[in-house]
Amino acid sequence: MRKIFFYLCCIVSFSTFIPEIVLANQDTLSGEVKELKALIIEMKNGFESRINEMQDKISRLEEQKYIEEDEAALEKELELLYKGKDEQVDIIDQQAVSPAPTAYGRFDGGGMFQNLMMDVSAIGDSIANITWPGKSIDTGHAGSPFAGNEFADRISLREMELGLQGALDPFARADFFISSEDGGAPTIEEGYITWLYLPFGLQAKAGIFRTNFGKMNRTHRPEIDQMDYPRPIKNFLGEEGQREPGISISKILQNPWDVYSELTGEILTPSDEGVKGRDQIYLAHLKNFFTVTDSSSIELGFSFQTRDISDVDDATLTERNFRQTMEGIDLTFRWRPPGQKLYKSFTWQTEFFASQREAGSFDDDGITEDVKDVNSPGFYTFGQYQLTRRLFAGLRFDYSQFTTNDKDSEWAITPYLTFWQSDFSRLRLEYTHLERDSDTTPVEEGDNSLTLQATFSLGKHRPHPF
């Protein structure tokens, strides 16, 4: 009986303490699980932090690699230039000691150093276009100011450009660009010599070149951020921008604000048919560059040009000459965040144009009559955002009147998507909706265009001015 009572007491005691033991074990286990979870989260955060640091380090190394490559190329070029300068000085000293007869009237170089390995490049620009509801608007009418779309509804190798660039000697370089449009005869896009080190800190160039009016005009068409030039550039400066033969002189201006400022003056002979020797274009451009933050900058430019547009014979006597004057303001904002410069960026660019053109007629005595001023404005603006390292998306809006007609106007909106396969090949899909408002030419409806553009580059192509 005592044994039975003892066993019952043991069973009751055991059943009483078991829950407490189990609960104690559960509390201990739960605490250990929480500690393990916290340790895992801490390790995860540590790994993510390490991964981000490694990605930033890789990005910095890649950027440093590109910088070192550019510096190496620059050092090599400077070494060749200084070597050529030293050889030139040695040759001049030798000629001073024992001059040798030379054949005048030809370029024999006089034994001077010149880098014969010039930069040769080729750029191809191919497009495929669909236009709807038709080509009636783009074809235009007789006397219409609206430009036609010669590439509507077809596939074309729109432009092929051959570049020949190199240093002539330590003090000058030459740049030639020969282009062929739509398989036609080759023409000189640009060809000029640049003197780099003139007295008073000046630089000068002479030849045929794209004028320094505004921002986008200086860049060749296959290399701009959209498929074609904005409407104000086409209507104010020409279908493919403004390029003329002439001379250009530029100088960097010192200022107490530590702002990069460059002043350029140009005298150009317009290539219009029937232009006389006095009908020169006088152009000035002031460029200013500001650093806003470590990741953003602003470029602000002012342009001005004027020319005589009188269309009279040399024997005709007039009391006044007709002139055309144009002004321009360009603004460019760039943003590239530190550590992500290869993957994220944003560009906003805007240009404003204004034209004042005198127009009128002459009577039998050569006196001007019915004189009036044609005042025409125009502008474009676009924003471009970098989505990934190779993919960009942008949107542009254009508005423009015409230098000879301030009654008609047109506007266009252009969204586009650009994919850089590499630094040497690019694909772009672009849509454009164009509307025209005309008091002189009836316009029934808007115009829509969808274009696929493929651009490629071979060889070393010197970048256009920043």
- Encode pLDDT of 76-111 as tens digits: 666 665 555 455 445 444 444 444 444 444 444 444
For 111, counting Cβ atoms within 10 Å of its Cβ (0-12 exposed, 13-18 middle, 19+ buried), the class is middle
Decide if pLDDT at 339 tops 60.
Answer: yes
What six digits make up the tokens of 388? 């990934």
What does each C-alpha distance from 17 to 7, 9, 10, 54, 100 come to in angstroms?
16, 13, 11, 55, 119
Instruction: Give pLDDT, residue 257.
Output: 87
What six digits make up the tokens of 28? 């201990």
Q: What is the mean pLDDT of residues 16-20?
A: 56
What does each C-alpha distance from 182 to 155, 188, 208, 226 come to in angstroms?
10, 15, 22, 19
Question: Mean pLDDT across the chain, nearest whole number?
Answer: 80
Q: Cis omega (within 30 of 0) on the bond before 133? A: yes
Instruction: Give pLDDT, residue 65.
Output: 62
For 369, counting Cβ atoms within 10 Å of its Cβ (0-12 exposed, 13-18 middle, 19+ buried), the class is exposed
Among 71-75, 396-400, 453-457, the minimum mean pLDDT is found in 71-75
Whole-angstrom distance, CA of residue 225 vs CA of residue 156:
19
Closest among 217, 360, 208, 330 to 270, alpha carbons compared? 208
Choose from 70-79, 113-122, 430-439 the range with maximum mean pLDDT. Answer: 430-439
Whole-angstrom distance, CA of residue 128 vs CA of residue 155:
4
Sequence-separated contacts (24+) of 288-292 with Cβ below 8 Å: 288/259, 288/260, 288/261, 289/259, 289/260, 289/261, 290/259
Among 85-89, 191-195, 427-431, the minimum mean pLDDT is found in 85-89
For 129-188, how does the pLDDT look when each residue is reduced to its tens digit (9 = 90+)? 998 886 544 444 445 556 666 677 889 999 999 999 999 988 999 999 999 998 889 999
Pairing of strands 187-198, 202-210: antiparallel
